[in-house]
Amino acid sequence: MSAIRTLVDLLAGRREAAALAPREWDGVISVARAEAMLATLAHRLEGAALPPAVAALFADQRAAAAVAQAQSMWEAEMARRALASERIEFVLLKGTAYAAAGLSCAEGRQIGDLDILVLVSDIGRAENELLEAGWEWVKSDPYDDAYYREHMHELPPLIHKARDRMIDVHHTILPQTHRIAPDALSLVSDAVTTENGFAVLCPTDMACHCAAHLLADGDLQGGLRNLWDFHSLTRDFAAADPGFWGKLDARADRHGLHAPVHRAARLARDLYGSALPSGWDRHDPADLWFKRRLLARDDWGHATHFALQQAFYIRSHWLRMPPLMLSRHLWTKWRKR
Amino acid sequence: MRHSTRIAVGPVQFRIGSDWRAPVAVLDRLYAGYPRDDTRPADATVRLFAARPWRRWLRPSVQIGGDFVIPDALPLPLSMGLLAAEMGMNLQVALGWRRHLLLHASAVARDGRAVIMSGESGSGKSTLAALLGEDGWRLMGDEFTLIDPAGGDALAFPRAVSLKNAAIAEVAARVDTARLGPLLAGTPKGDIRHLIPRADAIAAMHEPARPALLLFPRFGGEAAIEPMGEGEAFVRLTEASTNYVALGEPGFAALTRLVRETPAFGISYPDSTTGLALVEQLFAEAVR
């Protein structure tokens, strides 16, 4: 069995860690690292019977993830202080939000940038406050800068000059030129507050954003991690609220995200064993291509299926912008090479 | 991958795969005397591969891959495959290892006490460590020294020593040629030749040593010893550590403890003989 299949089976609980041959761990560790899921796996297998070397490595990963998460929460606190004087409200997104809300998928989850969502009417003020508080623009290229401002769903990325950490300030969750336009106002107005005082998306919106991020906004690189988020989020929310799946259905329709949310649910079922209610538990032959893309890695952690990767890369651009604009964009980018 | 091998250096188990036989064959020769446990899962994976399929044969060039990679790193010609492997292994440790505080420093030990030498490349820290390792000291490593955050001990990472330029002839004059790797001439880092550490240093690679001395050597100029304050040693070592920030508070605690408990000196030396004498003198004073 391929290492990436073994990784998925271990996460899903379909295979016992003790049943792995010692050398199978090589591949599992490499692909888990490549998918930024080694610490997630380390948490999933905490307490399992492991070879001593793997147990020691996993303990390192759990400790390192705890430090990284504390650093990410500190970054959120820095943003809160920067935006407090102008009373700009913001919602945490993705990894930092999962950590702030204490959700199970945050255990061991790698958190890269700080992602926040503000009302589109606040975006200019938010940028000013962050610049005053020490964040700086990364992109010096005028085309890229203008492209972000006119067409994207976020400001050009900012990096803090002292802490070297990036913040992405969003005003919605998909590019403005995307075929799907989620209801950004309700994302902010229906946000909920965590115990530590940060705003995060309400459960249904969190799942919608996760699916949109996984299936509507990229080429599925690192998709296994995002799909694990979706699997864990929906499982926990459904356990706390039996009506969750029905509410998610309605909310996904409202944001125009019916198809990505349902596909994410089916993929999570097929790979991680999510239990889906009737109405969700369907089959779509096209899911096969998504699964192949998600599992396109050899036992050395190296990406495989080059043509399939390219196809999903082109798809991500096709979804993001209308054809004429896409051709103009690619032309400009190509001339600048 | 077509060819592969496994190497254990200190606490790190590597798995190294290659599109070509040559780099693996030379690694197997250099690391033949290291303990080998083929059932132990690897902590880190290195891949040496052809960036384009035809680069396996046509002007073959080695791209360095693995769990952690440097984007846009240039490939090396196949004749420098051993250097590619070494760079790949260093990269995995520098970016991936979290169990210990990593110092970019060489180290030697005697009677369970370690001398840790940190400096830019060209400072002579590798050469001093290699020469001390042939002169009654246990070589702990020429590239990384690991500090245990729990107890403060130094741990060894005795990979094959990477001798550069003038140091090659100086060390080669004192050791059996069987302990030297092939000469890699004209690499981006100059001429390189590897030295296999003495068997007793390899056998002792899991034994911790208590830090006795922190040295910041500088090759060139008159012989000089300059005591260094805790603050300066601390700042220099944060710069010499690849995982200090990632370790968070335990890293800070380990490093403050190290600079508080260990006397630190900057040393200048015009030649290796003087450098070795300075190390001996300062060590004798430190452990007295």
- Chain A residue with CA closest to B48: the answer is A300
Percent pLDDT > 90 in chain B is 90
Per-residue confidence band for A313, with pLDDT thresholds at 50, 70 and 90: confident
For residue A325, pLDDT beyond 80 = no
For residue A322, pLDDT beyond 80 = no
- Chain A environment of B248 (Cβ under 8 Å): 67, 70-71
The amino acid sitting at A336 is K
Instruction: Give the distance between the most distant pair of CA atoms in chain A.
Output: 58
Strand partners, B113: B110, B210
pLDDT, position B57:
87
Q: Work out the average pLDDT over B25-49.
A: 96
Instruction: Specify whether the CB–CB gap between A117 and A143 falls below 8 A.
Output: no
Instruction: Specify whether the CB–CB gap between A205 and A251 falls below 8 A.
Output: yes
Question: Which two structure tokens, joined as six digits, stand for A126?
Answer: 């938010």
Kindly determine whether residue B45 and residue A301, on different chains, have CB atoms separated by under 8 Å: yes
- Chain B residue with CA closest to A20: the answer is B41
pLDDT, position A278:
92
A337 — contact with chain B (CB < 8 Å)? no
Q: Say how many residues make up chain B.
A: 288
pTM: 0.93
Burial class (CB in 10 A: 0-12, 13-18, 19+), B200: exposed
Q: Work out the average pLDDT over B141-153.
A: 97
Q: Say how many residues make up chain A.
A: 337
For residue A141, pLDDT beyond 90 = no
B177 — contact with chain A (CB < 8 Å)? no
Question: Which two structure tokens, joined as six digits, stand for B162?
Answer: 């990477």
List the helix and strand counts (H, then E) for chain A: 15, 7
Which of A6, A28, A30, A41 to probe the B interface (max B CBs under 10 A)?
A30
pLDDT, position B73:
84
Q: Where are chain B's structural domains?
A: 3-96, 101-287
pLDDT, position A50:
97
Rounded-to-integer distance, Cα B92 and Cα B59, Å: 27
A55 — contact with chain B (CB < 8 Å)? no
Question: Which two structure tokens, joined as six digits, stand for A261?
Answer: 């949310």
pLDDT, position B53:
85
In this predicted model, what pLDDT tens digit does every residue of B225-284 receive, in sequence order?
999 999 999 999 999 999 999 999 999 999 999 999 999 999 999 999 999 999 999 999
pLDDT, position A216:
86
For residue B131, pLDDT beyond 80 = yes
- Chain A environment of B68 (Cβ under 8 Å): 33
Per-residue confidence band for B105, with pLDDT thresholds at 50, 70 and 90: very high
A47 — contact with chain B (CB < 8 Å)? no
Percent pLDDT > 70 in chain A is 99
In this predicted model, what pLDDT tens digit does every residue of A154-213 receive, in sequence order?
888 999 999 999 999 999 998 888 888 999 999 999 999 999 999 999 999 999 999 999
DSSP B137-166: SEEEESSEEEE-TTT--EE---PPEEEETH
pLDDT, position A314:
84
pLDDT, position A168:
95
Strands B113-118 and B210-219 turn out to be parallel
In this predicted model, what pLDDT tens digit does every residue of A65-105 receive, in sequence order?
999 999 999 999 999 999 999 999 999 999 999 999 999 99
- Chain B environment of A302 (Cβ under 8 Å): 47, 49, 65
Per-residue confidence band for A149, with pLDDT thresholds at 50, 70 and 90: confident
Mean pLDDT score of chain B, rounded to an integer?
95
A57 — contact with chain B (CB < 8 Å)? yes
Judged by DSSP in three states, B94 sits in: helix
| A54, A60, A70 member nearest B98 (Cβ) | A60
Strands B190-195 and B264-269 turn out to be unpaired
Strands A135-137 and A192-193 turn out to be unpaired
Instruction: Specify whether the CB–CB gap between B106 and B28 falls below 8 A.
Output: no
User: Distance of CA A219 to CAs A50, A138, A309, A312, Å?
Assistant: 34, 23, 7, 5
Per-residue confidence band for A324, with pLDDT thresholds at 50, 70 and 90: confident
For residue A337, pLDDT beyond 80 = no
Kindly determine whether residue B45 and residue A30, on different chains, have CB atoms separated by under 8 Å: yes
In this predicted model, what pLDDT tens digit does every residue of A245-293 receive, in sequence order?
999 999 999 999 999 999 999 999 999 999 999 999 999 999 999 999 9
Q: Work out the average pLDDT over B182-209.
A: 96
pLDDT, position A175:
86
Kindly determine whether residue A25 and residue B41, on different chains, have CB atoms separated by under 8 Å: yes
Helices (H), A241-305: 244-255, 258-272, 287-294
Higher-pLDDT residue of A97 and A332 is: A97
In this predicted model, what pLDDT tens digit does every residue of B54-78 receive, in sequence order?
888 888 999 999 999 988 888 999 9
The region, left, alpha or beta by phi > 0 then psi within -120 to 50, assigned to residue A94 is left
Per-residue confidence band for A125, with pLDDT thresholds at 50, 70 and 90: very high
Taking each helix axis as running N to C, give the angle between helix A258-272 and helix A244-255, from 0 to 180 degrees, rounded to the nearest 10.
140
- Chain A environment of B242 (Cβ under 8 Å): none
Per-residue confidence band for A146, with pLDDT thresholds at 50, 70 and 90: confident
Question: Which two structure tokens, joined as six digits, stand for A228?
Answer: 């694990």
Instruction: Specify whether the CB–CB gap between A161 and A136 falls below 8 A.
Output: yes
pLDDT, position A290:
95
Strands B76-77 and B61-66 turn out to be antiparallel
Rounded to 5 degrees, φ, ψ at B54 are -70, -15
pLDDT, position B231:
97
Q: Work out the average pLDDT over A322-331.
A: 78
Question: Which two structure tokens, joined as six digits, stand for B89?
Answer: 């292994």
Rounded-to-integer distance, Cα A88 and Cα A13, Å: 43
Q: Starting at the edge strand that comes first in sequence, how are the strands of the sheet with B3-9 ordered? A: B3-9, B12-18, B44-49, B61-66, B76-77
Count of CB pairs separated by less than 8 Å, A with B:
63
Strand partners, B77: B61
Per-residue confidence band for A151, with pLDDT thresholds at 50, 70 and 90: confident
| A22, A33, A57 member nearest B39 (Cβ) | A22
Rounded-to-integer distance, Cα A124 and Cα A120, Å: 8
With vertex at residue A25, the alpha carbon angle to CA A24 and CA A31, rounded to the nearest 5 degrees, is: 100
Instruction: Specify whether the CB–CB gap between B222 and B66 falls below 8 A.
Output: no
The amino acid sitting at A80 is R
Kindly determine whether residue B41 and residue A29, on different chains, have CB atoms separated by under 8 Å: yes
| B67, B247, B250 member nearest A301 (Cβ) | B67
Higher-pLDDT residue of A308 and A230 is: A230
C-alpha neighbours within 13 Å on the C-beta side of residue A2: 16
Helices (H), A18-154: 24-34, 38-44, 52-84, 94-100, 123-132, 142-151
pLDDT, position B121:
81
Mean pLDDT score of chain A, rounded to an integer?
93
Rounded-to-integer distance, Cα B142 and Cα A92, Å: 45
Rounded to 5 degrees, φ, ψ at B155 are -120, 150
Instruction: Specify whether the CB–CB gap between B172 and B225 falls below 8 A.
Output: no
Question: Which two structure tokens, joined as six digits, stand for A130?
Answer: 């962050």
Q: Work out the average pLDDT over A218-244.
A: 95
B42 — contact with chain A (CB < 8 Å)? yes
CB-based burial, B220-252: b 16+ in 10 Å, e otherwise: eeeeeeeebebeebbebbeebbbbbebbbeebb
Q: What is the DSSP letter of A86?
A: T
Instruction: Specify whether the CB–CB gap between B190 and B165 falls below 8 A.
Output: yes
Kindly determine whether residue B98 and residue A68, on different chains, have CB atoms separated by under 8 Å: no
Of B22, B25, B14, B18, the C-alpha closest to B3 is B18
Kindly determine whether residue A300 and residue B249, on different chains, have CB atoms separated by under 8 Å: no
Judged by DSSP in three states, B105 sits in: strand
For residue A51, pLDDT beyond 80 = yes
DSSP A130-182: HHHTTEEE----HHHHHHHHHHSSBPSPEEETTT--EEEEESSSS-TTSS---
Q: Could you give the ipTM of this predicted complex?
A: 0.93
Rounded-to-integer distance, Cα B143 and Cα B105, Å: 5
